[in-house]
Structure formats: structure tokens, C-alpha cells
Amino acid sequence: MDRAEAVRLLPEKYARALVLRDQGCDNARIAAALGIVPEAIDTLMRLAEAKLQQLLDNPPEVDDQLRVPLENPADLPEPPVV
């Protein structure tokens, strides 16, 4: 299982956070996209990485139905100007 596949198995917001981070979004933008306070984003990312590592260490046998559909991050609306 590679990283991209594992990301699809994370809970939706963690997955989206990782994708947005990979695309270079900063905390403010990620926070706006996910509807979470900016102060919680650092911990969110840590949890996301921890969960991802868990999946990579122990890849589960997974049904495609369990993969959360991710919308294209490019479609996300612009965050409000803070």
C-alpha cells in the first residue's frame, strides 16, 4: 500500500488536510477548508501523520467501498480573508 492509497483510508478531514498540506496550503487555508479552528491544525496534522503511519505499518485488507471519496482540492472555495 503506498501513501496515496493509505490517505484515501483516513477519515475524510485528515485525508483532506494532508492533501492540502502537500499542495502547499498553510494552516489558515486548511482550517478554513475543513471548518476547524486554525489553532487545532498543527495537532490535526500530527494525528493525520500518526494515523497514516499506522495504516502503512499495518495495511488492512480493504474494500473499495470503505475508501472515502475525496473531492478535488482544487475545487475548494477560497478561504475567507482573515
Partner 1 sequence: MAISAWPFRGREAELALIAQAMDDPAVAGMVVAGEAGVGKTRLALEALAKAGPERYVVKRAVATSATKSIQLGALAQLLPADLPSANLLRAATEALLAVDDGRRLVVEIDDAHLLDDVSAALLHQVVRSGAAFVLLTLRSGEPAPEPITALWKDRIIERFDLLSLSPLEVEQVLIAALEGQVDSTTTGMLWRATRGNALLLRELVAAGLDQGALTDSGGVWRWQGPLVMAPRMMELISARLERLDEDELHVLELLAYGDPLSLDLLASLASMRAVEALETQGLLSVEQSRRRTQARPAHPLYVEALRRRSQSLRARARQRELVEATQRFGARRREDELHLAIWQMAIGGEAEPRVLVSGARQAWAAFDVPVAERLARAALEGGAGVAAAQLLSDLLVYCGRAQEAEELLATLQFQPRDDEERARLEMAYAFIRFWGFDRIDEAFALLTELERSIANLGWREGIVAMRARFLAHTGQYTAALRLIDRLPDMPPVFEATEANALMVRALAASSHGRLSVATADVRRARRLVPRWREEVPWLGDMVEVAGYLSQTLGGDLAGAAETATRFHATAAEHTNYPFSHVVWCTLRGQAARLRGQVQDALRWLREGWRQSGEPKALASLCAAELAHAAALAGDHDLAERALAEAQASRRASQAIFDPWVDIAATWVSATRGATGQATEQALAGARRAHDTGALAYEPIALHDAVRLGAARVVVDRLGELATQAEGDLVGLYAAHALAAARQDGPSLDQVASSLAAAEATLLAAEAAAQAAVAHRRAGRQASARAAAASSARWLEACQGAWTPALGTLEAPRLTPRELQIAKLASQGLHNREIADRLGVAVRTVDNHLHQAYSKLGIGGRRDLGRFFDREPAS
Interface contacts to partner 1, rule CB under 8 A: 9-14, 35-37, 39-40, 42-44, 46-47, 50-51, 54, 60, 62-68, 71-72, 75-77
Nearer to partner 1, 22 or 42 (CB): 42
Nearer to partner 1, 65 or 81 (CB): 65
- Least gap, CB of 59 to partner 1 (angstroms): 11
- Least gap, CB of 54 to partner 1 (angstroms): 6
- Least gap, CB of 72 to partner 1 (angstroms): 8
Dihedral in degrees, nearest 10, Cα atoms 46, 51, 56, 62: -150
Residue 15 makes CB contacts below 8 A (sequence gap 6+) with 7, 8, 48, 68, 70
Residue 8: name the closest of 76, 68, 71 by CA: 68
